[in-house]
Amino acid sequence: MERFRSPIATYSRLLLAAAAFALTGCVAQDKAATSSPSAPKSAAVRIEKATDGKTPIMMRIFKEEGVLEVWRKGSGGKYALAASYPICKWSGKLGPKFAEGDRQAPEGFYTVRRSQMNPNSDYHLSFDIGYPNAYDRANGRYGRYLMVHGACSSAGCYSMTDAQIEEIYAFAETAFKGGQSAFQVAAFPFRMTDENMARYKGDPNLPFWTMLKQGYDAFEASRIPPKVDVCGRQYVFNRTPKNGAEFSPSRACPPSDPMPDAKSAYAEDGRKPQGFASLLSPAKAPAPSISGIEEAALAADWSARRLKGEKVSQSPPSPSDVSEAVLKAALKPVLERSARALLAAQAAPRRRMTEAPAVAQDTTVRPRRF
């Protein structure tokens, strides 16, 4: 009898381990994952011919519009839109990602290096966008394996169709082959026009989005990916510290000057006048956004219970749906992990977030399923 128990017990442990690991990133919920041993050559050849094989790229993502854009650098140094793809699925709400398992797709400015590309993903093809970045870590946010991938299914990632990810992946491969060491991915809740910002004037995420808008406006004005740094737990764009100082994510921002050749759509001090604040909000109600870490904690707890096979609601509860005791219980592990992540960020060496970061190569071994 013991001979038959052992394989079953082993299989059960493997299932539990897989469920626990699945919380770390995005998990296919609606479609079986596919597999590809390498990037399809047909797409790579087609993109290489179209881009002369040596063209740096950057990408922009817009949640509300459901769009992923690929931009290519032109001969004059400015970037032009090369392709636009409808996002097949993204999970969560508008607003940033706070914690592992909260099902939120990240928002912010991220850097993708060649080591983050995975041609052997169970989701056809994928690349890790680089969450958490310096801003996320400085604010105690944590999580792993947040991807752009195929298979059209998502629980925290940006998922495309297999045909779309083949082309997107080929753009990146071609850029790396041409010598680009890293490309920027800017993920936004929506197109950050003054009119769209006015729709969210009362939203709890407005301060975060106003900060992102500075980088959005800088690109809109110059068509050049902004130089991105983090100091004082805030993003700063196209700035150079004075007197040999350095930007440190967890320390106050030093005095700085705007980069001399960087055009900007905001004022000399680096902040755009909030023209949207005086606009009337349109009658159309905005899309819901995540209310903060409490809602993220409840979503993470809901995800963990669901993967354990517990009976849960169809969607994660909101803070107003649960008792104070339930909310505190869900918050406790998230706040503890957030505190550990913040301490680790403060102890870590400074990392730059430029288009071609001068940092050690990311050698993290990505699991094949992502």
pLDDT mean over 178-184: 95
**CB distance 252 to 107 below 8 Å:** no
Residue 313, burial from CB neighbour count under 10 angstroms (0-12, 13-18, 19+): exposed
Among the ranges given (13-22, 33-42, 103-112, 174-183), the one the predictor scored with the smallest mean pLDDT: 13-22
Pull the structure tokens for residue 127. 């690349």
**Per-residue pLDDT reduced to its tens digit, 6-61:** 444 444 444 444 444 444 466 544 333 333 445 566 666 666 666 666 789 999 99
- pLDDT at 368 > cutoff 70: no
Residue 276: the pLDDT is 77
Residue 327 lies in a domain: no
CATH number for position 214: 2.40.440.10
Q: Which amino acid is at 297?
A: A
Q: Return the SS3 of 165.
A: helix
Asked if the structure places residue 334 within a domain, the reply is: no
Residue type, 231: C
Q: Which residues are CB-neighbours of 196 under 8 A, at least 6 positions away?
A: 64, 190, 276
pLDDT, tens digit (0-9, with 9 covering 90-100), for 304-326 = 999 999 999 989 999 999 999 99
Pairwise CA distance, residues 131 & 20, whole Å? 19
pLDDT per position as a tens digit, 252-263 = 999 999 987 765
67: which 2 tokens? 């769009």
**For residue 239, what is the DSSP state?**
E
For the cut 50, the answer to whether the pLDDT of residue 127 exceeds it is yes
Residue closest to 96 by CA, chosen among 187, 231, 158: 187
Greater model confidence, 108 or 40: 108
How far is residue 368's CA from residue 163's CA, in Å, rounded to a whole number?
20
The mean pLDDT value of the chain amounts to 82
**Strand-pair partners of 188:** 62
- Widest CA span of the chain, in angstroms? 77
Q: Check residues 349 and 358 and name the one with the higher pLDDT.
A: 349
DSSP secondary-structure letter at 34?
B
* CA 133 – CA 274 distance, rounded (Å): 26
Q: What is the mean pLDDT of residues 220-249?
A: 95
In a domain, 305, yes or no: no
At residue 107, the pLDDT reads: 98
Number of domains in the chain: 1
d(CA 205, CA 227): 23
Task: Answer whether residue 320 is part of any domain.
Answer: no
How many helices (H) and strands (E) would you count in the chain?
A: 8, 14
Residues classed as catalytic: 149, 157
Task: Work out the average pLDDT over 133-141.
Answer: 97
Any domain includes 357? no
Any domain includes 60: yes
The residues that bridge with 182 in the sheet, in sequence order, are 113
The string of DSSP codes covering 172-212 is: HHHHHHTT--EEEEEEESS---HHHHHHTTT-TTHHHHHHH
| Integer CA distances (angstroms), 269 to 17, 237, 257, in order | 50, 11, 8
For the stretch 109-135, what's the b/e string if a residue is b when 16 or more beta carbons lie within 10 angstroms of its beta carbon? bbbbbbebbbebbbbbbbbbbbbbbbb
- pTM of the full predicted structure? 0.84
User: Looking at residues 107-121, what average pLDDT do you find?
Assistant: 96
Percentage of the chain modeled with pLDDT above 90: 65
pLDDT band of 274, cuts 50, 70, 90: low
**271 vs 291 pLDDT, higher one:** 291
In a domain, 187, yes or no: yes
Q: How far, CA to CA in Å, does 206 sit from each of 66, 192, 197, 202, 270?
A: 20, 11, 8, 7, 18
Whether 112 is in a domain gets the answer yes
**β-strands 158-159, 147-149 pairing:** parallel
Range of the domain at 79: 26-288
Q: How many CA atoms lie within 13 A of 181 on its CB side?
A: 10
- Taking only Cα atoms into account, the Rg of the chain, rounded to an integer number of angstroms, comes to 21
Q: What are phi and psi of 350, to 5 degrees?
A: -65, 140
The mean per-residue pLDDT over the stretch 85-92 comes to 94
**Residue 353 DSSP one-character state:** B
Q: Pick from 157, 152, 205, 221: which is nearest to 185 by CA? A: 157
